[in-house]
Structure 1
Amino acid sequence: MKLAVSTLGMPGEGLESAIAVAAAGGCQGLELRLHPDTGVHAGLPPADRAAAREKIADAGLSIAALAGYVGICDPAPADDTVVGDLLADLRLAADLGAPGVRVFPRGDDPAVGARRLRAVADTAATLGVRVFVETHDKMPTGAAVAALLSATGRPDAAVALWDLLHPWRHGEPLDETLGALAPYLAYVQVKDAVSATDTTPVPLWSGAVPLDAAGELLRAHGYDGWVSLEWERTWYPQVAPVQDVLPGAADWVRRFSAPAAA
């Protein structure tokens, strides 16, 4: 596995600071939250895109993903709006050298999301990037996201992001989550929280998320992709700085990257 850290955990800090935190924390990559506050977003001019890509590469880091906010199944916006916003994010990913863009479901109808994902699939494939659909909000389980991706039918362009918190807190057993996502799994976000009902972030192994069981399943599955620490300090400003939590994430990646025992 390769460790990244999300800039969601560094509110108010610029790209240079995020690079320094990632490098000092033993990360191989950065997950860049797309927002004007972070300095990385679809409105970034070409010269600034090239500069950001160069700064990250010069630090020996890769961009693990762009964390976008498109709601792929959201019934409110028109298809053209959702597709246009996602295409802009995908082009940004290609310019930055990122492998893809995270999206949220925001709705619960897989037919809506599948239609929109198919609309961007050819462009995504041409650009060499993918859409990472997160287990979140109205599709929090592996089963729900797998149903969406199955309906889309474009594994070259649309894949799964397993946020370890949400399927678990909605009662889906870990083995069922992985079983559903396995054909599509391309990204993992690791975190811990107080409980299934109190999602306040806490350092890894100090909360209730079954991190060891999830890690063992991923190791047995042979997962060797990105694992991003999504420390949600942007939403919970009272929690510790991400630098205090990164050692636990690095430890988790080390523990579960080894091949499973025969």
Structure 2
Amino acid sequence: MTQTTRPTRPTQATRPTWTLSGFGDEIDQDPVVQAAVLQALGAHHIEVRSAWGVNIVDLDEDSLDRLAGILSERSMGVSAIASPIGKVDVSLPVEHEVERLTRAIAAAHRLGSGFIRIFSFYRGDGVSVESIRDDVLQRMRALAALAEASGVVLLHENEKDVYGDTPERVLDVIESVGSDHLRVAWDSANFVQVGVGRPFDDAYAMLRPHFAYLQVKDALSASGEVRPAGEGDGQVLETLTALRDDGYAGFASLEPHLTDVNALGGFSGPEAFGRAGRAFRTLTDQIGVRLA
């Protein structure tokens, strides 16, 4: 598609650096392969959602130790724990996700990450989004309180069909909870898939004060199909340019979803993941941002 933004490049002396990462299990179930592909793309960090086909909140201590060893041997840091917390029906008891977050926090501490991705709960068929607000906020406050006590920061992802899937409801969650330990993980593709026609125009200024983490994928408005960054309608280039100009210096995590999407995430495989990584680097090169 034709991009409307015509960004200027910073000089070499002022060129900002963002830290490239990616969802390892979008590449392969084996963390060794995950790390190798990410390093081939120039990344020295990984976002951990699962390893050996087991979700991060279900890995036992021995498996966490094994994973930590593999990453340490390859000098790979962990940008975030991509947990499934909050990706459940809001009718479940508060304690259900608090207990799972305890396990995600243990994984974060073992792997040396300060960020944990979470969601703001699904609802049953025929249940209005307005009717679950109080229950969502009760649960999000409990999760944020645990994060505060544990010294981690929760990243709310604007996943399709959770309470906070539109910009206004993302802001509602963040402001209503009111914790520095609950911040925004921005995903342009997810906004497109819930009908936000121009995510940068419609949401960036609103959410930028709470922005802490960039997830990288794009999508087509007509079909919802996920595309590499810059190949959809998510105004990714506009968003990246604004982040550069705002002084963003955090993580940019590839989550391509190019060959499969399922309830717990998605898959791309090494080849498609590499294509997504190169597409993103094309955009950051265009605006003069270094990825490291």
Which residue of structure 2 lines up, in the alignment, with residue 158 of structure 1? 182
CA distance in 1, matches of 2:51, 2:281: 26
Q: How far off its partner does 1:30 sit? A: 0.9
Please state if 1:22 is matched with 2:34: no
Please state if 1:177 is matched with 2:193: no
Structure 2 residue matching 1:241: 3-state secondary structure: helix
Whether the 8 Å contact between 2:26 and 2:268 is mirrored in structure 1 is: no
Structure 2 residue matching 1:182: 3-state secondary structure: helix
Gaps of at least 5 residues in structure 1 are none
Give the direction of change, closer, same or farther, for the CA distance of 1:45–1:82 in structure 2 (3 Å limit): closer
Whether the 8 Å contact between 1:191 and 1:201 is mirrored in structure 2 is: yes
Q: How far off its partner does 1:87 sit? A: 2.1
Which residue of structure 2 lines up, in the alignment, with residue 135 of structure 1? 158
Q: How far off its partner does 1:253 sit? A: 3.6
Letter in 1 for 2:213: Y
CA distance in 1, matches of 2:51, 2:65: 18
Q: How far off its partner does 1:221 sit? A: 2.1
Structure 1 residue matching 2:82: 3-state secondary structure: strand
Gaps of at least 5 residues in structure 2 are 1-17, 123-128
Give the direction of change, closer, same or farther, for the CA distance of 1:204–1:91 in structure 2 (3 Å limit): same
Whether the 8 Å contact between 2:27 and 2:268 is mirrored in structure 1 is: no
Whether the 8 Å contact between 1:6 and 1:228 is mirrored in structure 2 is: yes
Please state if 1:201 is matched with 2:218: no
Which residue of structure 1 lines up, in the alignment, with residue 143 of structure 2? 120
User: Which range moves more in the overlay, 173-182 or 76-85?
Assistant: 173-182
Please state if 1:190 is matched with 2:216: yes
Please state if 1:7 is matched with 2:37: no
Q: How far off its partner does 1:24 sit? A: 0.8
Give the direction of change, closer, same or farther, for the CA distance of 1:52–1:218 in structure 2 (3 Å limit): same
Please state if 1:42 is matched with 2:68: no
Letter in 2 for 1:119: A
Residues matched between the structures, number: 255
The C-alpha deviation readout for 1:95-145, integer Å capped at 9, x for no partner, is 211222211223444432332232233432343212111012232222211
CA distance in 2, matches of 1:144, 1:35: 32
CA distance in 2, matches of 1:87, 1:254: 39
> How does the TM-score come out when normalised to structure 1?
0.85
> How does the TM-score come out when normalised to structure 2?
0.77
Whether the 8 Å contact between 1:227 and 1:253 is mirrored in structure 2 is: no
